[in-house]
Protein backbone atom coordinates (compact mmCIF):
# COMPACT_ATOMS: atom_id res chain seq x y z
CA UNK A 1 0.00 0.00 0.00
CA UNK A 2 1.34 3.42 -0.92
CA UNK A 3 1.98 6.06 1.64
CA UNK A 4 -0.65 8.88 1.41
CA UNK A 5 2.15 11.41 1.71
CA UNK A 6 3.64 10.07 -1.53
CA UNK A 7 0.49 10.90 -3.49
CA UNK A 8 0.24 14.25 -5.28
CA UNK A 9 2.65 17.13 -5.39
CA UNK A 10 5.07 17.55 -2.49
CA UNK A 11 4.33 20.44 -0.15
CA UNK A 12 7.74 22.11 -0.64
CA UNK A 13 7.07 22.22 -4.40
CA UNK A 14 3.69 23.90 -3.83
CA UNK A 15 5.24 26.39 -1.40
CA UNK A 16 7.94 27.26 -3.95
CA UNK A 17 5.32 27.70 -6.69
CA UNK A 18 3.22 30.02 -4.54
CA UNK A 19 6.25 32.31 -4.26
CA UNK A 20 7.52 31.84 -7.81
CA UNK A 21 4.14 32.35 -9.51
CA UNK A 22 2.67 34.86 -7.09
CA UNK A 23 1.87 37.46 -9.76
CA UNK A 24 -0.08 34.99 -11.89
CA UNK A 25 -1.92 33.53 -8.90
CA UNK A 26 -2.87 37.03 -7.78
CA UNK A 27 -4.37 37.67 -11.23
CA UNK A 28 -6.42 34.47 -11.12
CA UNK A 29 -7.58 35.25 -7.58
CA UNK A 30 -9.71 38.00 -9.18
CA UNK A 31 -11.39 35.50 -11.54
CA UNK A 32 -10.81 33.28 -14.57
CA UNK A 33 -8.65 34.63 -17.39
CA UNK A 34 -7.56 33.45 -20.80
CA UNK A 35 -3.90 32.91 -21.57
CA UNK A 36 -4.00 36.07 -23.65
CA UNK A 37 -5.58 37.98 -20.77
CA UNK A 38 -2.80 36.78 -18.48
CA UNK A 39 -0.13 37.84 -20.96
CA UNK A 40 -1.60 41.32 -21.26
CA UNK A 41 -2.15 41.84 -17.53
CA UNK A 42 1.26 40.51 -16.53
CA UNK A 43 3.10 41.86 -19.56
CA UNK A 44 4.77 38.50 -20.09
CA UNK A 45 5.59 36.53 -23.23
CA UNK A 46 3.46 33.64 -24.50
CA UNK A 47 6.11 31.06 -23.55
CA UNK A 48 6.53 32.46 -20.03
CA UNK A 49 2.80 32.39 -19.31
CA UNK A 50 2.43 28.93 -20.86
CA UNK A 51 5.24 27.56 -18.69
CA UNK A 52 3.80 29.14 -15.53
CA UNK A 53 0.28 27.87 -16.19
CA UNK A 54 1.57 24.38 -16.95
CA UNK A 55 3.50 24.25 -13.68
CA UNK A 56 0.48 25.37 -11.71
CA UNK A 57 -1.80 22.89 -13.49
CA UNK A 58 0.57 20.03 -12.72
CA UNK A 59 0.59 21.09 -9.06
CA UNK A 60 -3.21 21.06 -8.96
CA UNK A 61 -3.46 24.76 -8.22
CA UNK A 62 -4.87 25.90 -11.57
CA UNK A 63 -7.27 24.34 -14.07
CA UNK A 64 -8.69 25.37 -17.44
CA UNK A 65 -12.42 26.03 -17.34
CA UNK A 66 -15.04 27.40 -19.70
CA UNK A 67 -13.98 31.02 -19.02
CA UNK A 68 -10.23 30.41 -19.10
CA UNK A 69 -7.70 29.46 -16.49
CA UNK A 70 -8.87 29.57 -12.89
CA UNK A 71 -7.76 28.54 -9.44
CA UNK A 72 -8.86 25.13 -8.21
CA UNK A 73 -10.36 24.77 -4.74
CA UNK A 74 -6.94 23.82 -3.39
CA UNK A 75 -5.41 26.69 -5.35
CA UNK A 76 -7.81 29.26 -3.86
CA UNK A 77 -7.21 28.08 -0.32
CA UNK A 78 -3.44 27.79 -0.76
CA UNK A 79 -3.21 31.28 -2.29
CA UNK A 80 -5.41 32.80 0.40
CA UNK A 81 -3.21 31.38 3.16
CA UNK A 82 -0.01 32.29 1.32
CA UNK A 83 -1.22 35.83 0.64
CA UNK A 84 -2.16 36.30 4.30
CA UNK A 85 1.25 34.97 5.35
CA UNK A 86 3.05 37.39 3.02
CA UNK A 87 0.99 40.30 4.33
CA UNK A 88 1.87 39.41 7.94
CA UNK A 89 5.52 39.04 7.00
CA UNK A 90 5.49 42.44 5.25
CA UNK A 91 4.04 44.01 8.40
CA UNK A 92 6.76 42.45 10.54
CA UNK A 93 9.46 43.72 8.18
CA UNK A 94 7.93 47.21 8.35
CA UNK A 95 7.80 46.90 12.14
CA UNK A 96 11.49 46.01 12.51
CA UNK A 97 12.62 49.45 13.80
CA UNK A 98 9.72 49.45 16.28
CA UNK A 99 10.40 45.91 17.51
CA UNK A 100 14.10 46.68 17.93
CA UNK A 101 13.25 49.74 20.03
CA UNK A 102 11.02 47.86 22.51
CA UNK A 103 12.90 47.17 25.78
CA UNK A 104 14.00 43.53 26.02
CA UNK A 105 12.13 43.00 29.29
CA UNK A 106 8.83 44.42 28.00
CA UNK A 107 6.26 41.74 27.32
CA UNK A 108 4.56 43.14 24.25
CA UNK A 109 2.31 40.76 22.27
CA UNK A 110 3.83 40.33 18.81
CA UNK A 111 0.36 39.71 17.41
CA UNK A 112 -0.15 43.49 17.64
CA UNK A 113 2.33 43.74 14.76
CA UNK A 114 1.38 40.50 13.04
CA UNK A 115 -2.33 41.25 12.81
CA UNK A 116 -2.42 45.02 13.23
CA UNK A 117 -1.66 48.05 11.10
CA UNK A 118 1.96 49.15 11.43
CA UNK A 119 2.76 52.80 10.78
CA UNK A 120 6.28 54.21 10.86
CA UNK A 121 7.42 57.81 10.35
CA UNK A 122 8.30 58.59 6.76
CA UNK A 123 11.12 60.78 5.54
CA UNK A 124 8.62 63.37 4.36
CA UNK A 125 5.89 62.42 6.85
CA UNK A 126 7.53 62.10 10.30
CA UNK A 127 4.19 62.64 12.06
CA UNK A 128 2.38 59.82 10.22
CA UNK A 129 1.72 57.63 13.33
CA UNK A 130 0.43 60.62 15.30
CA UNK A 131 -1.73 61.72 12.39
CA UNK A 132 -3.43 58.32 12.49
CA UNK A 133 -3.85 58.68 16.25
CA UNK A 134 -5.61 62.00 15.74
CA UNK A 135 -7.94 60.57 13.09
CA UNK A 136 -8.78 57.53 15.21
CA UNK A 137 -9.37 59.54 18.38
CA UNK A 138 -11.91 61.79 16.65
CA UNK A 139 -14.40 58.94 16.44
CA UNK A 140 -13.91 57.56 19.95
CA UNK A 141 -16.22 57.98 22.95
CA UNK A 142 -13.63 56.95 25.52
CA UNK A 143 -9.86 57.23 25.47
CA UNK A 144 -7.41 55.59 27.87
CA UNK A 145 -3.75 56.36 27.41
CA UNK A 146 -0.43 56.17 29.18
CA UNK A 147 2.53 57.86 27.58
CA UNK A 148 6.05 58.88 28.57
CA UNK A 149 5.85 62.04 26.45
CA UNK A 150 2.31 63.13 27.22
CA UNK A 151 1.56 63.78 23.54
CA UNK A 152 1.36 67.57 24.05
CA UNK A 153 0.37 68.02 20.41
CA UNK A 154 -3.00 66.37 21.13
CA UNK A 155 -3.62 67.31 24.75
CA UNK A 156 -5.57 70.42 23.78
CA UNK A 157 -7.61 68.51 21.19
CA UNK A 158 -8.50 65.86 23.75
CA UNK A 159 -9.52 68.53 26.27
CA UNK A 160 -11.72 70.24 23.70
CA UNK A 161 -13.53 66.98 22.98
CA UNK A 162 -13.94 66.30 26.69
CA UNK A 163 -15.27 69.84 27.30
CA UNK A 164 -17.78 69.35 24.48
CA UNK A 165 -18.97 66.13 26.16
CA UNK A 166 -17.85 64.16 23.12
CA UNK A 167 -15.17 62.21 24.97
CA UNK A 168 -14.23 60.74 28.33
CA UNK A 169 -10.48 60.47 28.76
CA UNK A 170 -7.97 58.96 31.17
CA UNK A 171 -4.30 59.89 30.72
CA UNK A 172 -1.23 58.77 32.62
CA UNK A 173 1.92 60.75 31.83
CA UNK A 174 5.46 60.73 33.17
CA UNK A 175 6.43 63.67 35.39
CA UNK A 176 8.62 65.25 32.70
CA UNK A 177 5.83 64.84 30.17
CA UNK A 178 3.41 66.66 32.46
CA UNK A 179 5.81 69.60 32.62
CA UNK A 180 5.97 69.76 28.82
CA UNK A 181 2.18 69.70 28.54
CA UNK A 182 1.82 72.44 31.14
CA UNK A 183 4.25 74.62 29.20
CA UNK A 184 2.58 73.94 25.85
CA UNK A 185 -1.08 74.27 26.91
CA UNK A 186 -2.41 77.43 28.55
CA UNK A 187 -5.63 75.76 29.79
CA UNK A 188 -3.93 72.83 31.50
CA UNK A 189 -5.38 73.62 34.95
CA UNK A 190 -8.91 73.81 33.57
CA UNK A 191 -8.38 70.53 31.77
CA UNK A 192 -7.32 68.55 34.83
CA UNK A 193 -10.22 69.96 36.86
CA UNK A 194 -12.76 68.49 34.42
CA UNK A 195 -14.30 65.34 36.00
CA UNK A 196 -14.40 63.65 32.60
CA UNK A 197 -10.67 64.19 32.10
CA UNK A 198 -8.68 62.03 34.50
CA UNK A 199 -4.98 63.02 34.26
CA UNK A 200 -2.42 61.26 36.44
CA UNK A 201 1.35 61.23 36.87
CA UNK A 202 3.51 58.11 36.61
CA UNK A 203 6.56 58.20 38.86
CA UNK A 204 8.18 55.25 37.08
CA UNK A 205 9.46 55.38 33.51
CA UNK A 206 6.96 54.16 30.92
CA UNK A 207 8.63 51.97 28.26
CA UNK A 208 6.17 52.92 25.51
CA UNK A 209 2.75 54.51 25.04
CA UNK A 210 -0.55 52.65 24.88
CA UNK A 211 -3.83 54.18 23.71
CA UNK A 212 -7.13 52.28 24.00
CA UNK A 213 -9.91 53.66 21.82
CA UNK A 214 -13.26 52.73 23.39
CA UNK A 215 -13.04 48.96 23.84
CA UNK A 216 -12.40 48.42 20.15
CA UNK A 217 -8.79 49.15 19.21
CA UNK A 218 -5.36 49.62 20.71
CA UNK A 219 -2.54 51.87 19.60
CA UNK A 220 1.01 51.01 20.68
CA UNK A 221 3.61 53.78 20.28
CA UNK A 222 7.30 53.00 20.70
CA UNK A 223 10.06 55.57 21.23
CA UNK A 224 13.82 55.35 20.74
CA UNK A 225 16.14 58.01 22.17
CA UNK A 226 13.17 60.34 22.61
CA UNK A 227 11.96 60.02 19.00
CA UNK A 228 8.91 58.08 17.84
CA UNK A 229 10.02 54.83 16.18
CA UNK A 230 6.49 53.98 15.04
CA UNK A 231 3.14 52.59 16.08
CA UNK A 232 0.88 49.58 15.66
CA UNK A 233 -2.92 49.76 15.72
CA UNK A 234 -4.72 46.50 16.41
CA UNK A 235 -8.25 45.31 17.24
CA UNK A 236 -7.24 41.73 18.09
CA UNK A 237 -9.12 40.67 21.22
CA UNK A 238 -6.07 39.24 23.00
CA UNK A 239 -4.04 42.40 22.28
CA UNK A 240 -6.89 44.59 23.55
CA UNK A 241 -7.14 42.57 26.76
CA UNK A 242 -3.38 42.92 27.29
CA UNK A 243 -3.53 46.68 26.72
CA UNK A 244 -6.54 47.25 28.96
CA UNK A 245 -5.03 45.26 31.84
CA UNK A 246 -1.71 47.05 31.47
CA UNK A 247 -3.39 50.46 31.39
CA UNK A 248 -5.41 49.70 34.54
CA UNK A 249 -2.24 48.63 36.36
CA UNK A 250 -0.34 51.76 35.29
CA UNK A 251 -3.34 53.98 36.09
CA UNK A 252 -3.77 52.45 39.53
CA UNK A 253 -0.12 53.05 40.43
CA UNK A 254 -0.13 56.66 39.18
CA UNK A 255 -1.00 59.70 41.31
CA UNK A 256 -3.48 62.48 40.51
CA UNK A 257 -2.10 65.75 39.16
- 156 and 226 belong to one structural domain: yes
Judge if 77 and 113 occupy the same domain.
no
Helix (H) or strand (E) holding 220: strand 217-224
140 in a domain, yes or no?
Answer: yes
- H or E stretch at 173: strand 168-174
Residues 206 and 247 in one domain: yes
**200 strand-pairing partners:** 172, 256
Checking if the pLDDT of 134 tops 50, the result is yes
**What average pLDDT does the structure give for the chain?**
89
pLDDT for 7 equals 44
CATH of the domain at 208: 3.30.870.10
- C-alpha span between 29 and 69 (Å, rounded): 11
Render pLDDT for 217-253 as a digit per residue (tens, 0 to 9).
999 999 988 889 999 999 999 999 999 999 999 999 9
Q: Are residues 124 and 199 in the same domain?
A: yes
Compute CA distances 144 → 85, 126, 140, 252, whole Å.
32, 24, 10, 13
Please check whether residues 144 and 246 belong to one and the same domain. yes
pLDDT for 8 beyond 70? no
151/137 Cα distance (integer angstroms): 13
- The CATH number that applies at residue 18 is 1.10.10.10
Q: List the one residue out of 3, 38, 1 whose CA is nearest residue 23.
A: 38
* Number of separate domains in the chain: 2
Specify the higher pLDDT residue, 24 or 152: 24
- As a whole number, mean pLDDT of residues 137-165 equals 87
* pLDDT value for 3: 47
Q: Name the DSSP letter for residue 7.
A: S
Single out the residue in 85, 113, 141 at which a domain terminates: 85
Q: Is residue 98 part of a domain?
A: no
* Same domain membership, residue 114 and residue 236: yes
Can you give the residue range of the structural domain that contains 245? 103-256
Amino acid sequence: MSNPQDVGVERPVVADLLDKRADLLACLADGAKSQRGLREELDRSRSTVYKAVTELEEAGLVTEGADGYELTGVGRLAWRRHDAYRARLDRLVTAEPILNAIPADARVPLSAFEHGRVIVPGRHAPERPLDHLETRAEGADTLRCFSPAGMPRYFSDIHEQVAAADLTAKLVIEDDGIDRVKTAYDHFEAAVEDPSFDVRIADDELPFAVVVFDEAELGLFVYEDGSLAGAAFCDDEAVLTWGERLFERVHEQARPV
